[in-house]
Chains A and B, each alone.
Chain A
Amino acid sequence: MDLSLSTRTEGDRTVVTVGGEIDVYTAPKLREQLIDLVSSGKYNLVVDMESVDFLDSTGLGVLVGGLKRVRAHEGSLRLVCTQERILKIFRITGLTKVFPIHASVDEALAATD
Chain B
Amino acid sequence: MPTVEVSFTALPAHVRTARLVALAVARRAGVDEQILDELRLAVGEACSRAVNVHQSKSPADAVVMRLTDEQDRFTVEVIDCGPLEDAVAEPDIDLEGNALSADGDTAESLPDLLPPGFGLAVISGLVEDVSVTSDVDGTHVRMTWPAVDVLAPGSH
Interface-located stretch among A11-19, A63-71, A100-108: A63-71
Bound: A13/B37 CA distance, A: 32
Say what secondary structure dominates the interface of chain B. helix
A61 touches B113 (CB 8 A): yes
Contact with A along B14-51 (1 / 0, CB 8 A): 01100100000000000000000110110011001001
- Inside 8 A of B114's CB, which chain A residues have their CB? 57, 60-61, 64
Q: Interface size for chain B: under 10, 10 to 19, 20 to 34, or 35 or more residues? A: 35 or more
Which residue of A is nearest B11, CB measured?
A25
> How many residue pairs between the two chains, A and B, have CB atoms under 8 Å in the bound complex?
88
Given known A-B contacts A31-B112, A64-B114, A69-B107, A23 and B100 have beta carbons under 8 A apart: no
A73 touches B102 (CB 8 A): yes
B107 touches A92 (CB 8 A): no
Given known A-B contacts A72-B100, A92-B122, A93-B125, A98 and B15 have beta carbons under 8 A apart: no
- Residues of A that sit less than 8 Å from B by CB: 21, 23-25, 27, 31, 38, 54, 56-58, 60-62, 64-65, 67-69, 71-74, 85, 88-89, 92-94, 98
- Residues of B that sit less than 8 Å from A by CB: 12-13, 15-16, 19, 37-38, 40-41, 44-45, 48, 51-52, 93, 95-96, 98-102, 104, 106-107, 110-114, 118-119, 121-122, 125-126
Q: List 10 tightest A-B contacts by C-beta distance, closest first.
A: A65-B112, A92-B125, A25-B12, A24-B48, A72-B100, A61-B114, A24-B12, A85-B37, A72-B107, A56-B44
